């Protein structure tokens, strides 16, 4: 239960906190953009089984690979893609916490 709360807390609360702290004037848009990065979980559909509670997503799924994570850091540096990059990094952090708690 704690692991689930931590995982979804990071997914939903951290983007809101980041938006409120660093993107005050456009916090709603910033939050929506960062939350939209949960779409990277669509790569789970490529796995068999699609969901395995004992599998670490990091470096297993294509959009959770180390190469993709490097791209997310690059996206967070570029002003036009910063929110997408930050959202993806937060997403990966949430998934990494799951891996560490297994």
Which residues form the domain of 22? 2-101
**For every residue of the chain, which 3-state class applies, written as one string?**
CHHHHHHHHHHHHHHHHHHHHHCHHHHHHHHHHHHHHHHHHHHHHHCCCCCCCCCCCCCCCHHHCHHHHHHHHHHHHCHHHHHHHHHHHHHHHHHHHHHHHC
pLDDT at 1 over 90: no
pLDDT of amino acid 62? 97
What is the tens place of the pLDDT at every residue in 40-72? 999 999 999 988 888 999 999 999 999 999 999
b/e per residue, 19-40, with b = 16+ CB within 10 A?
beeebeeebeebbebbbebbeb
Rounded CA-CA distance 57/27 in Å is 29
Question: Residue 75's pLDDT band (boundaries 50, 70, 90)?
Answer: very high
- Considering the entire predicted model, what is its pTM? 0.92
What is the tens place of the pLDDT at every residue in 14-41? 999 999 999 999 999 999 999 999 999 9
């Amino acid at each position: 239960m704690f692991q689930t709360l931590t995982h979804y807390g990071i997914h939903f609360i951290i983007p809101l906190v980041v938006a409120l702290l660093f993107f005050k004037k456009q916090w709603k848009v910033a939050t929506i953009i960062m939350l939209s990065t949960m779409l990277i979980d669509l790569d789970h559909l490529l796995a068999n089984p699609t969901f395995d509670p004992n599998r670490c997503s990091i470096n297993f799924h294509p959009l959770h690979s180390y190469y993709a994570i490097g791209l997310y850091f690059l996206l967070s540096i570029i002003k036009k893609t910063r929110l997408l990059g930050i959202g993806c990094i937060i997403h990966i952090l949430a998934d990494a916490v799951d891996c560490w708690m297994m």
